[in-house]
Structure 1
Amino acid sequence: MTSSAPADITRTIPFWLIFAASALGGMTNSASTPIIPVYVEEVLGGGTDVSGVLISLAAVASMIAMPIAGMLGDKHGYRPIAVAGSILATAAMAMFALLPMLWGASLARVLFGLGNAAAMTLIMAWLVAMAAPAHRGKALSIYGLSVWIGVALGPQLGAAVNEAAGAMSVFLVCALLEFATTVLIMLLPKPVKPASARPPSTTTKPIPLPPGGMSALWAAFRAVWVPGVVAATAWCGEGLMLGFLIIHLGAAGIPASGVLSAASIFGVFAASVILARIALATLPDRVGPLRATAVSLVALTAGLVTLGIAPTFWVAAVGAALIGIGFSPLYPSLTMLATRELRPQNRALGLGIFSSFTSIGYGGGALIGGLVLTVASSMWAFLLVAGLQLVALAVVTIFTKDPSPRTQVGKDEPRDPAA
């Protein structure tokens, strides 16, 4: 950072431009994804298996785009790569309406996954570059709320537009949202990268990463694979919810839109994440990231089971609240576990690979939902994903060493990059 940079960027216009861009990007995803099963059935004439594959395509593309976007951004600058990604995502949303065919929808989902993930990855890196190390945790915590605002508002918007004008109109509205994201990114000032800081003091020896090439990728993967597997399993639940919750609750007689509707459950979920984040902000530091991860996975399991068997809106709301409580400390805890074995000069690469695991899980949840619904009720999809959380708990417990419950994160390390 330069000496003229403000100590607390949360009081600056560029921070709130980044916040708004992230919220709009999240709204685009959460408004369009739940409509895909409706689009597939009404426009393409397909079933839930096709819906699951289409939803998962964007997640697979995101998994590839995140680390690549980070490397390209480091080489060519954040702005051109982020703008290109956002424009690509805008075009992808328009393709759904302009090419109402299976191949067009498939291509659109891949392009959306590539573009949206690239843009969101780089605006988070932009924020990290702008924030002073002493205030970075605060900036990232506030920034993380933008994602959940998008998750809360997007499904409501998508359901309302779908009822008023049909699925094709939802994608056109999402194209406008993504274009607005592009404009906000173009208004951002050029980021200034902070000087590399010392590696944080941890209880484990950092894995040194070579400057580039396959050896760097492999070393980063070794450092983050355990928390990455847990992240993939947890985000499998979010992928299942976003893709099939409205259909699942509709089978129980809960309407798709309205105040006490399936779409409103996403608002309950997002609100519980925000409130729990405030209440549990210090949990990973107080009990350690491993124990906080265990608490999160237990809450996720309980929430997914509750959603799976929910007969009414209020029971579903309890399940969504439990899932929100579980997600709140999970990403900070997993990030602490992942970054403690990475050196600062290569931490972006490691975080990019770690973040790609969330896309694997997101796509896996959609795929599981689509496949299970072809042979059984959606309840079994939620129960299956709930069981996977217990498998993740076993993996992180067996393969993670956490001798000190109060493992600290270094001052220069992102504590919560938009969980």
Structure 2
Amino acid sequence: MQSTSPAPGGANVFLTLAPITLAVFIAFLTIGIQLPVLPLHLHDTLGMGPGVVGLVVGAQFAAALLSRAWAGNFADMRGAKRAVITGALTASASGLIYLASLAFVDAPVSSVWVLVAGRVLLALGESLIVTGTMGWGIGLVGPQNGGKVMAWLGIAMYAAYALGAPVGVAFNSVAGFNGIAIATIVTPLLAAIIVLGVRATPPSATRRTPFYKVLGAVWAPGVGLALSSVGFGVITAFIALLFAAKSWGNSALAFSAFGAAFIGARLLFGHLPDKLGGARVALVCVVIEAIGQLLIWGADTAPLAYMGAALTGFGYSLAFPGFGVEAMRRAPPQTRALAMGAYVAFLDISLGITSPLAGMLAANCGISAVYLAGAASVSLSFVVALMLLGRQSQGVRHA
């Protein structure tokens, strides 16, 4: 079934998406407050090394990957609104698991496993929220505004990362990891309350679509997303450890620099993927992101690392909707949530693999080395963007 409501245009797109965007921002604060705190909790409180830090951080992304097909079909068949509310409740439950992990601090290995269970539950909630809000947004404003949907929801996500990092540090300094766990319980519930009054869109499918069919349609831009996401992955997992290793002080400003540049790029240039084409935009932005990774790798002062984080955020900001517009154009319209879930699955693959591999690299070659590897990976996404652009040119000539 398809919605028969006319798609809004112009400023109405923003107004239509505003409550969903706000809900995503609040929900993703749950993840943002954990970014600078979880690695330090694992390292300082539980005595774990970079390899274990990478595995625990990566567990969320691996679980999200495995749940994308289920979450996408759930949103397409049962409605995106129901998926978002269910996801918020699930994410809230992960905070209870975090609280339980604190009962095992004297048995660090057990505490780590309980934390992993909480990360998996958080991943299930995040998967429902992401696929649900993307499908919901496209259903409300129309596929011709798909790039704007991804841009605005991305702004909400990374604004939450930028604000959540210093908030998480503050919570941790006052109440320890216990404060992080309580915030994880409460914050997603606020997001669920916000979307209760938003108009639901009809389910877009009446039966389950095999995941592999949609995956086959979006794999090429998905690979571009996966490679470009490595830069984001090494910042989320290891920037706090880099600052600690170099005695640069609080790493929260690095997350904020990433988030502020990410948001600025989306606000100023978020319309470009719909207007110019996703591949063209991605082609330029991944170069900027790679330069940012190289700056962090070579940084000998905190301000240089901040600048590198900002360039990484600016470049990655439009790479996501750039490759995403290409994915949406290749997918069947009745599977919009599942298609976005399949596309985002490549992000999960990237972050799920990046964290443990980068942890091993850091253990053997030092923390800085992960950013040189990040620059190399992001550079490969430039090749993918070139291939997508070449296919478009061939299609125009054949037409």
> Structures share a fold, TM > 0.5?
yes
1:174 and 2:178 aligned: no
1:51 and 2:53 aligned: yes
* 1:148 maps to amino acid: Y
1:105 to 104, 115, 135: 115
Give the aligned partner of residue 175 of structure 2: 165
Take 1:225 and 1:62, find their aligned partners in 2: how far apart are those partners?
17
Alignment of 1:182-331 (within 5 A): 182-192=192-202, 212-214=208-210, 217-256=211-250, 262-281=251-270, 283-284=272-273, 288-331=277-320
Q: Displacement of 1:135 after TM fit?
A: 5.9
* 1:57 maps to amino acid: A
User: Does the 8 Å contact 1:368/1:381 carry over to 2?
Assistant: no
Give the aligned partner of residue 129 of structure 1: 139
Give the aligned partner of residue 75 of structure 1: 77
Change (3 A) 1:288 1:141: closer
Mean CA deviation greater in 294-303 or 137-146:
137-146
Give the aligned partner of residue 98 of structure 2: 96
Take 1:403 and 1:116, find their aligned partners in 2: how far apart are those partners?
33
Change (3 A) 1:18 1:287: closer
Q: Pairwise CA RMSD of aligned residues?
A: 2.8
Change (3 A) 1:282 1:37: closer
TM-score, normalised to structure 2's length? Answer: 0.86
1:11 and 2:15 aligned: yes
* 1:61 maps to amino acid: A
Q: Deviations 1:202-252 (Å, cap 9, x if unpaired)?
A: xxxxxxxxx7554xx333222211211121122122121112112212322
User: Does the 8 Å contact 1:148/1:270 carry over to 2?
Assistant: yes
* 2:256 maps to amino acid: G
1:24 to 14, 17, 26: 26
Q: Displacement of 1:388 after TM fit?
A: 1.3
Q: Displacement of 1:402 after TM fit?
A: 3.3
* 1:245 maps to amino acid: I
Q: What secondary structure sits across from 2:48 in the alignment?
A: coil
1:119 to 129, 148, 159: 129
Alignment of 1:361-400 (within 5 A): 361-398=350-387
| Number of residue pairs the alignment of both structures matches | 384
Q: Displacement of 1:326 after TM fit?
A: 0.9
Change (3 A) 1:348 1:87: closer
User: Does the 8 Å contact 1:38/1:167 carry over to 2?
Assistant: no
Q: Displacement of 1:118 after TM fit?
A: 1.0
User: Does the 8 Å contact 1:2/1:192 carry over to 2?
Assistant: no
Q: For structure 1, which runs of at least 5 residues remain unmatched after alignment?
A: 197-210, 257-261, 408-419
Take 2:236 and 2:327, find their aligned partners in 1: how far apart are those partners?
26
Q: What secondary structure sits across from 2:391 in the alignment?
A: coil
Change (3 A) 1:406 1:278: farther
Take 1:41 and 1:63, find their aligned partners in 2: how far apart are those partners?
26
Q: Displacement of 1:27 after TM fit?
A: 1.3
Change (3 A) 1:3 1:168: closer
Identical aligned residues as a percent: 25
Q: Displacement of 1:122 after TM fit?
A: 0.8
Change (3 A) 1:133 1:116: closer
TM-score, normalised to structure 1's length? Answer: 0.82
Give the aligned partner of residue 108 of structure 2: none
